[in-house]
Amino acid sequence: MRTRLMMLGPPGAGKGTQSHRLSEVFGLPQISTGDMLRAARKAGTPLGLAAATAMDSGKFVPDEVVVGIVKERLTLPDVQHGFILDGFPRTVVQAEALAEAGVVLDAVINIVVADEELVERITGRCTCPGCGSAFHTRYHPPTTEGVCDDCGTELVVRPDDTAEVFIGRLADYWAKTSPLVAFYTQRGIVHTVDGIGGLEAVQERIRVIVEGRDSSPLTV
């Protein structure tokens, strides 16, 4: 049985957090292009250098860079039972490239949150550079201030998580990524989830969908 999921929604909607949690619940690898690109930048690879300017300004990384790294990742053996795509595809062009590569998704989880709520969320967000866990000073604070609960690494605020940069990211999302809702709706695999509420409540809404309790089975 394979379950191949994609997390969709505006920045700050909780895609990364929910992907991480679902990865543990279902035993599926979380494939985060953001984490992979940041790692490449830190390592100073050609891919990282190509992505650095766009990432620091909150812009999209060129399609060919992102598509290449994801296609390579999906050849690894740990995805044979499925995966959770987090942060990819971000454009219809990327979605078409994914389909052309023969990658078929079982479900697209579209997390919906109002823009006003997103701006409030983003200003307190911090992430773990070690394991990728996400926290928020108001909604999901770490047990020890500034330290990751999962691995003990010091938390950081991403340079693209400032309010000014975030507004630009949100505009990019509505212009370039939101058309993916229509793209995947045509394929009958979009499931809309209310992103308001506690982490456990949102996770439960997604879990019900993934397990196919209120829709057709999502595994093949």
pLDDT in tens, the chain (220 residues): 579 999 999 988 999 999 999 999 999 999 988 777 777 778 787 777 777 877 777 777 788 778 877 887 888 899 989 999 998 998 999 999 999 988 999 999 999 999 989 988 888 889 999 998 989 888 889 999 999 999 999 999 888 778 888 888 899 999 999 999 999 999 999 999 999 998 899 999 999 999 874 444 333 3
Q: Is the pTM of this model over 0.85?
A: no
Residues 35 and 133: beta-carbon distance below 8 Å: no
Q: In the chain, what is the straight-line distance between the N-terminal and C-terminal CA atoms, in Å?
A: 6
Domains of the chain, earliest start first: 3-112+180-210 (3.40.50.300)
Q: Is 176 a catalytic residue?
A: no
Q: Is 42 a catalytic residue?
A: no
Helix (H) or strand (E) holding 30: strand 30-32
Catalytic residue, chosen from 15, 38, 73, 121, is: 15
**What does the CA dihedral 203, 205, 209, 213 come to, rounded to 10 degrees?**
120
Q: Is 169 a catalytic residue?
A: yes
The dihedral through the CA atoms of 177, 179, 181, 187 has a sign that is negative
Q: Is 158 a catalytic residue?
A: yes
